[in-house]
Chain A
Amino acid sequence: MRYFSKEGETEALRNISFSVRAGEFVSIVGQSGCGKSTLLSLLSGLIAPTSGEVFVDGKKIDGPSPLTAFMLQQDSLFEWRTVLKNTMLGPEFRGTLNANTRKRAESLLTSYGLKDFMHHLPQQLSGGMRQRAALARTMCSDPDVLLLDEPFSALDFQTRLSIADEISTIIRKEGKTAVLVTHDIGEAVSMSDRVIVLSSRPGRIKAEYEIAYPSCGNDRPSPMKAREAAEYHGYFNTLWEELDAHATH
């Protein structure tokens, strides 16, 4: 992937090739400026690769597709719309707004603990609640793949941990495939099944780690529990060194 500007061209990503299994949670970590966010934009169809292809469910991506949904760093809730109307933005833009999508939005908000806040405006909600509303908005268009672009980085530390916990539990429960971009190693290790490390610009796949927590039994532990699991620190240190090695280059 190359970006063109008057000053010249920038190669943001090179030779990136990976696939994500249905229902898998993959994190992409790397130094800032390594092209993590570019990668997500490519997956979502927001930008077209200068060379190469992206497939979701076997369909080639050539524009923003209803198969994928983005969750951004800022919740970007529209302050002039109620939480419910914010949630229904996806179907509204895609022209599929009807009684069913409305019901879906309501049930999503209910299950995310926002039942009593449906008709409130976003500015009346706390940071964590806003992020859950943003998740409801993402989920409302019923995507197969969730693209998470550092969705928790704007929150304070404590809220971040608990929201990451809630949201990853929700994503796993609904059986969604997720690709998370983050620079927070702990977040990546505790939430994902696999972590992909990108090298600095132009971003290439430097390493891949399967994350598993056999000590927690067959069920995948929630991120909170994972942080206490025996395997956590091993993964954390490996990734830390992997990223640190790049910084010294």
Chain B
Amino acid sequence: MPLTNGASTAALEQASAASAAPSPSPAYLQWKRHQRMRVWSIRMTQFLLLVAFLFLWEVSARSHWVNPMLTSYPTAVWTSFAQTVADGSLWQHVWITLIETVASFTISMVLGVLIAIVLWLSPFLDRVLDPFLVVGNALPKIALVPIFYIWLGPQWSIYGIAVAISVFITILMAYTGFCQTDPNKLKLARTFGASRLQTLQKVVLPSNLMTIIAALKANIGLALVGVIVGEFQSSKAGLGYMIQYGSQIFKMDMVMMAIVILGIISLALYSLIQFAENAIMKTRRGAV
């Protein structure tokens, strides 16, 4: 869904940029109307799809085509939502998961980019660490959950696992991007006698702003995975805990609600990054 969002906003932007031209031709206006219709029909179809899904879910549970004990259904999820909002417990869970996610996301982003920088600054270290990074990246980090639990305790193990899951992708994406910096720009910097640190600061990092944003996008989802897995194992609060607890006492309404909220959170975080990306793209295109 975020992908179609991005595409359609880009189309809208194009249309609005072009509309600044003097006296648009009828053919152009027609084209623009057509574009608007297209965006609108995509939105409508998305909305209808969602409504149809909810409706089907509700009806099939209520008419016992499927067992409502196992699947729950939208109105029950809504009731559960209203309840937890009323007793104030929902916000606490959401808040905890959000804090954990944003914190681990930030830590792994900073850590990942720092490691990528160190690797770029020292080709020797890169060659030395390469096999370890490959293993670290390929290893299913979920396997580390019990170890983190024992080492870091119930609270910090959540951060530990979330960072472990998301940091490698950041290192790899950032470092790959750094290595693909336009060789002509690097050569130019060298002809001006630039030091490696200057090259990093003035050529490599600005060249890779978009790579780093792409890493942010990959990262946010993975951080959320890590936090939920961590909460499964150890937590007394958070959406992961709600899911775990709800399934243990067979309250599927609670489980489904927590999942829906997770979906909304991930969409919101992703949109935030997308928003930042668009803003940066705009400045870079010189639209300021």
A interface residues, Cβ below 8 angstroms from B? 44, 46, 63-66, 68-70, 72-74, 76, 78-80, 89-90, 92-94, 120-121, 123-124, 141
B17 to chain A, nearest CB (A): 14
Give chain B residues whose Cβ lies under 8 Å from the Cβ of A66: 193
With known contacts A69-B191, A76-B184, A92–B202 Cβ distance under 8 A: yes
**Nearest CB to that of B187 among chain A residues?**
A72
> B181-209 interface mask toward A, CB cutoff 8 Å, 1 = contact, 0 = none?
01011011111111000100011001101
Q: Which residue of B lies closest to A138 (CB)?
A: B191
B64 CB within 8 Å of chain A: no
| Contacts A46-B191, A76-B188, A123-B286 known; 13 new A-B pairs at CB < 8 A | A72-B187, A73-B184, A76-B182, A76-B184, A76-B185, A78-B203, A78-B206, A80-B209, A89-B202, A93-B202, A94-B192, A121-B284, A121-B285
11 CB contacts below 8 A, A to B, read A64-B191, A76-B184, A76-B187, A78-B185, A79-B284, A89-B192, A93-B192, A93-B194, A93-B198, A120-B286, A123-B285
In this complex, the member of A44, A66, A68, A93 whose beta carbon has the largest number of chain B beta carbons within 10 angstroms is A93
Distance between Cα atoms of A66 and B182 in the complex (Å): 23
B residues neighboring A (CB under 8 Å) = 182, 184-185, 187-194, 198, 202-203, 206-207, 209, 284-286
Chain A residues with CB under 8 Å of B209's CB are 80
A64 and B192 contacting across the interface, CB-CB below 8 Å: yes
Q: Chain B residues near A120: list those with CB within 8 A.
A: 286
CB of B192, distance to nearest CB on chain A (Å): 4
Q: Which residues of A contact B284 (CB under 8 A)?
A: 79-80, 121
Check A141 against B285 for contact (C-beta < 8 Å). no
B198: which A residues are within 8 A, CB to CB?
Answer: 93
CA separation between A90 and B191, bound complex, in Å?
A: 9
Q: In the complex, are the beta carbons of B190 and A64 less than 8 A apart?
A: yes
The smallest C-beta distance from A213 to any residue of chain B, in angstroms, reads: 32
Write the chain A residue with the least CB distance to B288.
A121
Shortest Cβ gap from B200 to chain A (Å): 12
Min CB gap A145→B, angstroms:
12
| Chain A minimum-CB-distance residue to B203 | A78
User: Is the beta-carbon distance between A121 and B286 smaller than 8 angstroms?
Assistant: yes
In the assembled complex, the Cα of A89 lies from the Cα of B285 at a distance in Å of: 20
Cβ contact within 8 Å between B185 and A44? no
How far apart are the CA atoms of A30 and B97 in the complex, in Å? 66
Residue numbers in B under 8 Å from A73 (CB-CB)? 184
Contacts of A64 in B (CB 8 A): 190-193
